[in-house]
Amino acid sequence: MALLSPDFLECVVALGTPSDEEKSIWIASGFLFGRFIQKVDEQTSRYRVVLVSNRHVFLGLEWLTMRFNPEEGQQASEFRVALNENGKQRWFSHPDENIDVAVLPISTDTLRQHKIKFNFFRSNNQSADLAKLEKLGISEGDGVFVLGFPMGIVGTQRSYVIVRGGNIARIRDCIAGSSSDFLIDAPVFPGNSGSPVILRPEIASIEGTEAVSESYLIGIVKSYIPYQDIAISPQTKRQRVVFEENSGLASVEPVDHIQKTIESIQPVELE
């Protein structure tokens, strides 16, 4: 029994930067997201597709490398994209600088021309904003999946997404509007920045609540929350060393911030 759609794995993209050795250094994760525009007919809908990651991933980069799998099983293909062109920034960030979300418009026609195997999260039926999460009764303890490429582990010949499980640690403050992000209890490491967070479907629920039987994109990993342990000199009683460890908690930006970021942008071509 599958709890995670294989199509969701095809939405996730390894992100890197070119190096002097003509090999990319993989630094983060991202994913393709389609904002619903209109329904053409019963079988077809139009979407504005973007690559989503964190603002802190894009900041300071001149070039971004994206790694995709071809359709017919060949070795993974890499696309280099200039993030600045003629002095103009080609990516867009959330208007609030405290929101760590950035998007880069993507041409799906270019991906198809290169016979790339890809998919994207659809905003109208594969994602859940805070209002929908509240309506579904999502709360602390509900399960999640984190999809990405921690520590630059992207796969040798092709990209293979690493899926790790966890649960929502705190979200009621975000739903209530008193916090801009929510917390998950899940193993998140460098390279997971920009990873999509997926709600895990359940077949059981406690009395008085309904089980959520579908998976939804509910947010994007911002960072893990570090725990600091301070070593004090027994002689001077002063701080000598600070040890920083992963607390196991991670901060997540909700889907609402992705929607806000891509409201008024236009698609551009991959190079």
Instruction: Specify the pLDDT at position 41.
Output: 81
Tokens read off for 186: 């899940």
Which residue matches tokens 């399960």?
Answer: 143
Residue 198: give the domain boundaries.
6-261
Cα→Cα distances 36→1, 39, 50, 269, Å: 29, 8, 12, 19
Report the C-alpha gap between 250 and 145 in whole angstroms.
12
Instruction: Specify the pLDDT at position 231.
Output: 87
Instruction: Specify the pLDDT at position 205.
Output: 65
Instruction: Specify the pLDDT at position 203.
Output: 73
Q: Which residues of the chain have pLDDT under 70?
A: 1, 20-21, 204-209, 264, 266-271
**Residues 6 or more apart whose Cβ sits within 8 Å of residue 55:** 93, 94, 97, 99, 100, 101, 102
Report the C-alpha gap between 84 and 73 in whole angstroms.
32
Instruction: Specify the pLDDT at position 92.
Output: 95
Q: Is residue 271 in a domain?
A: no
Q: Is residue 205 in a domain?
A: yes
CATH of the domain at 156: 2.40.10.10
Q: Is residue 31 in a domain?
A: yes
Instruction: Specify the pLDDT at position 44.
Output: 83
89-121 pLDDT per residue, tens? 999 999 999 999 999 999 999 999 999 999 999
Instruction: Please state the domain count of the chain.
Output: 1
Q: Is residue 216 in a domain?
A: yes
| Beta carbons within 10 angstroms of residue 79's beta carbon | 17
Instruction: Specify the pLDDT at position 213.
Output: 84
Report the C-alpha gap between 91 and 102 in whole angstroms.
7
Instruction: Specify the pLDDT at position 166.
Output: 97
Q: Is residue 218 in a domain?
A: yes
Q: Where are the alpha helices (DSSP H) in the chain?
A: 6-9, 55-58, 108-113, 130-136, 172-176, 255-261
Taking alpha carbons only, the member of 167, 215, 174 closest to residue 2 is 215
Q: Where are the alpha helices (DSSP H) in 84-176?
A: 108-113, 130-136, 172-176
Taking alpha carbons only, the member of 265, 194, 252 closest to residue 50 is 265
Q: Is residue 217 in a domain?
A: yes
Instruction: Specify the pLDDT at position 121.
Output: 97
Q: Is residue 1 in a domain?
A: no
Q: Is residue 270 in a domain?
A: no
